[in-house]
Amino acid sequence: MLNKLGRRTGKGKPWNQERVATARRNHSIAGQKRTTPDPDLLSQGQAAKYAGVSTATIRKLVAGGVLKREQIVPWAPWEIRRADLDTEPLKGIIEQLQRTGRIVFKEVVSENQMRLIE
């Protein structure tokens, strides 16, 4: 994270695991505790495996506005809620994809989509 933010050590070197450990030890900074993963939040790959589709399909569903994804901070992995994958409209799209090999968004009306016929 320090390197992605463009931060350097006092000597202008990039950060690595050893330099971070030394800085923490020298300045009595406690390391980060590992959190237990939330089973309701999935990465893009985990979401693809859970839904039985490819990661490219997950990206298309996100781009089509059918599936939401969240990111806690910049450069953090995208998270997809398991409950969003279990919605009926999304399940219908995935079933049709598996039958026909094509993604069709007809069943889902996005908030940003204009209706041509009322």
Class of domain 41-100: mainly alpha
What is the rounded distance in angstroms from the CA atom of residue 84 to the CA atom of residue 47?
Answer: 10
Each residue's pLDDT, cut to its tens digit, for the chain (118 residues) gives 888 889 999 999 999 999 999 999 999 998 778 778 889 999 999 999 999 999 999 999 999 888 999 998 888 889 999 999 999 989 988 888 888 888 877 644 555 555 545 5
Helix or strand run (H / E) with residue 81: strand 80-81
- Structural domain boundaries in the chain: 1-34, 41-100
* CB contact set of 96 (below 8 Å; sequence gap of 6+): 102, 103, 104
What is the rounded distance in angstroms from the CA atom of residue 81 to the CA atom of residue 86?
Answer: 9
